[in-house]
Amino acid sequence: MGERDPTLMAGVPELVVLRLLAEREMYGYEIARTLKVLSRETLSLGEGVLYPALHAMEARGLLRPRPRQVEGRTRIYYQLTARGHRRLERLTANWQRMSAGVARILGTSDHE
Amino acid sequence: MSELRFAQLSRALRRQGVAARHARRAALEMSGHYHQLRLQALARGEPPDQAARAAHEAMGADAVLIERYAGRRELRGWLYRWPAVYAVAPLASFAVLCVSIMALLVLVLNGLQLLVHHLAVPAAVAMAVNSVFVVALQWVLPVLVGAGFALLASRRPVALRWLIASVLLVCLTARLMNSGLMLPIPGQRGSATLGIGIRFRTLALQLTGTLITAALALAPYFIVRHRSGWRRSLPS
């Protein structure tokens, strides 16, 4: 696994979590696992980042929690709200614009 | 051990000002996460005690999680987001209690007069009841309200300045109040009065009374804080 620079990670947890939950509702552990697998271990959200972020997104009305009983335990599944969908669209557009800009700069540097 | 860890986590989050529903849910989710990690370790063929240890270690220190929760304003309870409420809530409670007590007494006395048409008590009894009423409403009640909120604050990280301000406000209001409850005596109807005003002639006396009642209200808070500090300093 490569080295992770925290300064590059600002805003990433929110974007990737919203993106995953746009597909289907998931619970915390499932989100952490799916992120790790889909990003081929480039992204890994620890419990200390993931759960406060989920709760904060819920408090801002981006997610809706839904408790469910699974094998005798209560699991909290998270669903994206309409506001969450709008936020995801905005964040995705910002991310694409920024990453395209950074890619252009990196590409220019390679040629010089 | 695991359930104890998550119960402690929930309590620690609440002590740091995280809203109760987030603290409860965090403990529930962390417990579920731990359970999944333990199952994963068991599936890898690790023995149960080693799997439990590995799951605990994989989850990292609770202190980091607590710090992250407490650092997010939107996850904090409303008392922590607006601590100034602590300066107003005790006064509002005191005012509501005073008005409610007066309304109840008026209702009861009016009801009694309907039942007993010539209700009258000796003047000495009426004076004694009035004195008890004034002491209860203007001395005991503010101390109880102030002490109640102070004890509530002792379990939360409420800034001491807000607590002292709120208790002083309640006690000052009580000192500036004029109240009375005169039961009907022969030849005179009963009355209940409640008002507030400043008498500059007795202001020094009223301020002294404020400080005395505030000290009485805050005493349980400092005792609890002192005892919990003393307990924490004991070797485990």
pLDDT, tens only, B7-46: 899 999 988 889 999 999 999 999 999 999 999 999 989 9
List the 71-100 stretch of B: residues with Cβ below 8 A of A.
71-72, 74-75
Taking an 8 Å cut-off on Cβ atoms, the answer to whether B33 and A28 are in contact is yes
Taken in order B214, B217, B221, B223, is the CA torsion positive or negative? positive
pLDDT at A85 over 60: yes
Q: In A, residues 90-109, which contact B (CB 8 Å cutoff)?
A: none
In which band, very low, low, confident or very high, does the pLDDT at A1 lie, cut at 50, 70 and 90? Answer: very low
| pLDDT digit string, tens, across residues B57-102 | 888 888 888 999 988 988 988 777 777 777 788 999 999 999 999 9
Average pLDDT of the segment spanning A81-110: 90
Is A47 an 8 Å CB contact of chain B?
yes
Q: What does the block give as tokens for A78?
A: 């998270």
Do the chains contact at B33 and A73, CB–CB below 8 Å?
Answer: no
Q: What are phi and psi of A106, to 5 degrees?
A: -60, -40
B-chain residues within 8 Å CB-CB of A52? Answer: 26, 65, 68-69, 71-72, 75
- Nearest-CB residue to A76 (from B28, B59, B75): B28
Average pLDDT, chain A: 88
What is the reported pTM? Answer: 0.64
Tokens matching residue A15: 């974007």
Q: Give dist(CA B200, CA B222) in Å, integer.
A: 32
Burial of B210 (0-12, 13-18, 19+ CB in 10 A): buried
Q: Which of A39, A33, A45, A32 is nearest to A6 (CA)?
A: A45
Cβ-defined contact of A59 to B75 (cutoff 8 Å):
yes
Residue B156 buriedness (CB in 10 A; 0-12 / 13-18 / 19+) = middle
Q: Is A51 on the interface with B (CB under 8 A)?
A: yes
Nearest to B74 among A32, A48, A56 (CB): A56
Domains of chain A, each with CATH number or no CATH = 12-102 (1.10.10.10)
Question: Would an 8 Å CB–CB cutoff place B22 in contact with chain A?
Answer: yes
ipTM summary value: 0.83
